[in-house]
Structures are given as C-alpha cells and as structure tokens.
Amino acid sequence: MLAQPPAHAPAHAVVRPSLHIAGAWRDGATRMDVRNPYDGSLIAQVACATPADVDDAIASALVGQRAMAALTTGERAAILHRTADMLAADAARFAAMITAETGKIIRAATKEVSRAVNTLRLSAEEATRLSGETIAFDSFPGGETRHGFYVYEPVGVIAAITPFNDPLNLACHKLGPAFAAGNSVILKPADQAPLTAIMLAELLLAAGLPADALNLLTGRGGDFGTALVASPDIAMVSFTGGARTGETIARAAGIKRIAMELGANAAVIVAADADIGKAADACASGAFWAAGQNCIGVQRIFVHQSIYAAFRDRMVATTEAMVVGDPMDPATDIGPMIAVGEAERMAAWTDEAVALGARVCTGGRRDGAIFPPTIFEQAPPDARIVRQEAFGPIVSLFPYADLDDAIAAANAVDHAIHAAIFTASLRDAHHAARGLQAAGVMINDSTDYRLDAMPFGGARRGNMGREGVRFAVREMSHTKVVCFHEG
C-alpha cells in the first residue's frame, strides 16, 4: 500500500497502490514522493515502476488490445461518455488535485477539467465516425471489375507519455483517441504529477473500460521509459514533453509510429494598427497563464516601433495588477512553478540576460518556487530567455520597423507550435499567416489559444504528428483497404 498521507496533506490525497497492471492495482518495491509545489507538503507517495513491471504491463496490454478491438464503436463511445459524465460530476476534486500536484491556479485547474470532459466527449463522438470511404477502382484501366473500400483499424498497444503541466487534459488527449480507435494504452504520467492520471484511470475503469486496456506506470521516466518504448510489442509511442526527452525516446523506440508533441518558443507580432489594450492584455495572459508553463505560452513579442512604448507600458501595468501567490486562492493569477529548481532556473536565466544587456521592465525576483511574471526588453538574441524554450513566466519585447523583419525574427528559433499577429489589416494578417513558420497562426489572439478539437502539433525540428481528437484518432489507426474482384 502507499504510505498514508500525513495529517496536513489535502483530504483528496490518493492513498492506494499506484501501478495499474493486468487489471489490478499494485505497489512497487520503491516509492517516490509527490509534493505540493507551493508549500512543499507531501501529498502522496507513488510506486516507482521497474522494467519488470513494464513486461507485465505489456503482456496485459496485448490482451487489453484484443478486448478493445472487439468492442463496437458504440460501446467504446459509451465508455468515454460515461467517463466524461463522472469527470464532470467530480470536477471540484479533480481541479483541487491538479492544483495540489502542479501548483496550477485553481481557476486554470477548473478550466482544465472542463476541457478534459470535452476532450473525452469529442473522443466518444470520433469513435462513432471511424468510417472509411469507397475507392474508385474503376478510375484506372483494369479497375472496372473491382470495387472496395478502406477502413480504420487500431494500431495495437500505445505507450502514452505525458508531461506535468496539463496532467489531466493531455492524458485525455492520448487515452480518448486511443480507446476510440480500439487500442490499449500503457500510460506513463509525469513524475511530478501522477495523481490526477491515477484518478482518471479509476474513472475509466469504473465506466467499463476492459481492465487490461489501461495499464498505468508511475515513477521516474528515466528508470523504465526506455524499456517501455523500445519493446517491439509497443506499436506506437505518443509522447508529449521536452525536446531532449523526446529525442531520447525516439532513439530508443526505433522504427515504429511516433507522435512527438514537444516544446516551443512562441512569438507574437503586434502591428502598428493593432488594438494596443487588447493585444497587451492578451499577451500578458498568454505569457503568464499557468506561470508560463505552457507549450504555447507567449515568449517573444515583436511590437511595431510606433506603438512600442504604449504597448510595453500597458502590458507592464496589466502584469503588475496580477495577483501572485497561493494557487488554491481563487483570486490568484500566478502560482508557483512546478519546483523550486525551475524558479531557480528562471532566476539564473534572468541574471544571464541582464548581464548581456537586457532590462527587466517588471518582475525578476524569485521567492521559493514562485517566479513573478517578468517582462524584459533589449534582450540580446543569444540570451537563453530569447533562444531557448523558457517554460516559465518570462517574456521579451522587441521593437520592429518592417513586418518581414519581424516575421524572420519570429521564425529564428528551432521549435514552434503557434505564432500570432495582432493587426487590423487583412493584408498583413494574410502575409503573417503565410510567413510564420508554425503549426498554427492566431490572428488577434494570443499564441496560447487552443480548442481541443483543432489540429494541434509542432512545426520544424523534432515535432511529429498532430493531436486534436479527430487527428489523433487517425494517427492511432491503420488504414486497411478491402478490394473485391469480380473477374
């Protein structure tokens, strides 16, 4: 059994074995702490899975895959709808757990739960749309005596590996489509935030998911992740996380289906004709939502020189009005980062940027795991705050004179998911939408806008595949052709 949480731990703490293998919950030989990033309190201990657990999970998942494939699409949809119903009914407990294990503010956690409900419902709907099409064999000589169609079949066992920052909805983005398409899943949630995923697994099983269809392995990814993704019995690896981890996983996985949802360093352009107030407020929200721990969070803003000072002053004022502190307080806008070490990294990057000539317009001083929302200007291109993914509450402003120069500067990073432009000009919006090298371009919205139904993924180095339920279902399916010959 897991250690009992201490008396001061939240009442919703998970007190149970955390490995779900072969239809039963089991403990591990060793355990790791899950701590609240805001106050450092112990929430629970979870088991550290081993390569031997991986073997057991894979054997179970192969059984579970046959069980999933045997379900009708209607039955799969019903399980996902029932899970969504239970999640909606239990939203407060899930939101509190997200906040406890990640430090995400309670308003954001509550929104994540409602998005996760939607992601599961979209998955249920997609299960019932798993239809193929007929093929026009007769469009080519020799095809007149043939007719047929294509259908979607499950790929098999999917290893789903998720990050800490949206521990519920990002798990739903993998589990929902995988089950809709008839696959089984071995889920490896983030080391720091596995508890919401465990609660989600409980709901899915209670909703009637075949017990072998979902195996869940907690612990440190580095201890057993390679054994998991390298197995020839894993048909697909669906990973969301950092680029460096993604590279390790892709190398270990070898030739198999891989989806890589990696990080980014998102850029926004604010044109001379933009609504300054709306753009500055959207950028402040987009930069500092979830304490900047958002793969589509705004990190670099290119502002036309004619409105630069007015934009900067408005964004600084909006940012300074944000409430920093206890993530459980509904009034709080910015909570802690996932760990003190991450806030220390932000402080080190800030010191480096200042030493290289950047100016801190607001913020910049760490307090424990909290790094305040911080705005820089005059940051040189070689500072880490500019060239690397920050994944923290910092943003840099740059004046520009020419739109093409701003587009080129926005594109001058390795990883991109979304980019954005604020402008009243249709022409400039079109021009930027074509020129910005990203997987999504938002017009008059921050880069952090995402609807769970839209195709979502990365552009440029390393990113592979698309999530957004319908698109993930396709990637988690094989296309099979059936051809009848009358001759």
Note the residues at the interface with ligand NAD (CB under 6 A). 161-165, 170, 188, 190-191, 221-222, 225-226, 229, 240-242, 245, 248-249, 261-263, 295, 389, 391, 417, 458
Q: What residues are labeled active site?
A: 261, 295
Sign, Cα dihedral of 23, 21, 10, 370? negative
Taking CA atoms, 318 is separated from 287, 323, 337, in Å, by 12, 11, 20
Distance of closest approach, residue 439 Cβ to ligand NAD, in angstroms? 9
Nearer to ligand NAD, 164 or 302 (CB): 164
- The torsion of the CA quartet 353, 356, 358, 362, rounded to 10 degrees, works out to 40
Closer residue to ligand NAD (CB): 252 or 433: 252
Q: Provide the minimum distance between the beta carbon of 455 and ligand NAD in the complex, in angstroms, as a whole number.
A: 12
Beta strands in 189-297 (DSSP E): 214-216, 236-240, 257-261, 266-270
DSSP string, 411-464: T-SSEESEEEEE-S-HHHHHHHHHHS-SSEEEESS-TT---TTS-EE-EETT-B
Q: How far is the CB of 380 from ligand NAD (least distance, A)?
A: 23
325: left (phi over 0), alpha (psi -120 to 50) or beta: left
Neighbours of 367 (CB within 10 A): 11
Q: CA angle at residue 50 from 45 to 54, to 5 degrees? A: 115
CB nearer ligand NAD, residue 14 or residue 417: 417
Task: Give the nearer residue to ligand NAD in terms of CB position, either 43 or 439.
Answer: 439
Closer residue to ligand NAD in complex, CB, 249/324: 249
- The CB-of-242 to ligand NAD minimum distance in angstroms stands at 3
Min CB(101)–ligand NAD separation in Å: 12
Give the Cα-Cα-Cα angle 197, 198, 199 (nearest 5 degrees). 90
In sequence order, which residues have a C-beta less than 8 Å from that of residue 235 and are 6 or more positions away? Answer: 155, 156, 157, 158, 183, 256, 257
Quick one: 146 exposed, middle or buried, by C-beta within 10 A (0-12, 13-18, 19+)? middle
* Pick 229 or 403: Cβ nearer ligand NAD: 229
**Kindly report the CA angle at 115 between 5 and 192, in degrees rounded to 5?**
35
What residues does 154 pair with on adjacent strands? Answer: 477
Pair type for strands 394-400 and 298-304: parallel
| CA angle at 173 for the pair 169 and 177, rounded to the nearest 5° | 145
Coil, helix or strand at residue 324: strand
Count of positions (residues) in the chain: 487
| Residue 392 C-beta: closest distance to ligand NAD, Å | 10
Q: Which one, of 266, 293, 294, 298, lies nearest residue 283 by Cα? A: 298
Q: Minimum distance between the CB of residue 214 and ligand NAD, rounded to whole angstroms?
A: 16
240 vs 319, beta carbon nearer ligand NAD = 240
Coil, strand, or helix at residue 480? strand
Alpha helices in 356-410 (DSSP H): 384-387, 403-410
Shortest distance (Å) from residue 177 CB to ligand NAD:
14
Judged by beta carbon, residue 210 or residue 263, the one nearer ligand NAD is 263
